[in-house]
Amino acid sequence: MAEINEVIGGYRLRSLLQTGATSQVFEVVEPHSNRHFAMKVLLPESESNKELRYILFHEAEVGQKLRHENVIHILKVNRGEHSPHFIMEFFPSGSVRNRLMAKDFGFIKANAMKIFKQAATGLAYMHGNGWIHCDVKPDNMLVNAAGQLKMIDFAISKKIPKGLSKLFFKQAKAQGTPSYMSPEQIRKQPLDGRADIYSLGAMFYEMLTGRPPFRGTTMPDLLNKQLTEKATTPQVHNQDITDEFAALLLRMLAKKKEERPPACHDILIAMRKMKILKTDPDPVVEPGM
């Protein structure tokens, strides 16, 4: 396991940010420039695993193609036999999941509109560049004290299938996080940006109510609810949510993708004219809107 002050690929490890089942994320320093970055490196016991190496390099390749203020940018990848890793911009913050676990609902309430718009904007950019994130959830949204957001983790991101590729689409297993997976992900069907919109709706729902829209006693039970059960209005759990935003959330969580907002841009346009919470100040509508 890598240690603080160790040098990997010319970068000195400064602090451990996160440890996962197969990898670690460190804050690192480039000695000659003294610039700070983040490094994701496979654990020693994972570095010879072909599947895990592929996932790491796939995440790096997707992130290198994306340049947007709400999407973490991956700068370079090292495919070496030992300590395979990639370097990304350093964004000092915790995740939305950290805020939820800390029950920091005051911060979430104060920054909800800013967070929601940035998440939808980052996804609109990804979709516009032909990518589906496929794992939108609070854990993969970094947000700092100022409410600035960056989306991370493209390990299972996919190109949006077009033309004949839709006909020959084949997925060996369902990929995603069960509490946020769209019905079409669970069914291993061809995906487009509306799959991410479903997951985004589940994340918004949890941020505003403190609980995901669906819970199950077992994994099959949870997945079955994602497939068949209509989401309860979030106002049951938080009466401060406006009727307009509750309706938008329920549209995002529609089981049939045709019934969801067609694109993230539509969500952003709708949000310009509405309040999330009844106690929020009235929105400032731009001239001509």
Catalytic machinery residues:
135
Cα 107 from chain centre = 19
State the DSSP H helix or E strand holding residue 114, giving kind and residue range, or none if neither: helix 105-128
What count of other Cβ atoms lies within 10 Å of the Cβ of residue 15? 10
Per-residue CA distances from 231 to 161, 225, 228, 280 (Å):
28, 9, 9, 24
Q: Alpha carbon of 195 to those of 27, 37, 142, 214: distances in Å?
A: 32, 31, 21, 16
Say if CB 201 and CB 249 are below 8 A apart. Answer: yes
CA angle 73, 49, 77 (to 5 degrees): 25
Assess contact for 158 and 174: CB atoms under 8 A. Answer: no
Residue 138 near residue 201 (C-beta atoms within 8 A): no
> How far is Cα 131 from Cα 125, in angstroms, rounded to an integer?
9
Distance (Å, whole) CA 75 – CA 36: 12
Measured CA to CA in angstroms, residue 214 lies from 177, 199, 220, 230, 253 at distances of 12, 12, 12, 9, 11
The tokens of 193 are what? 């940006």
**Burial of residue 258, with CB atoms counted within 10 A of its CB: 0-12 exposed, 13-18 middle, 19 or more buried:** exposed
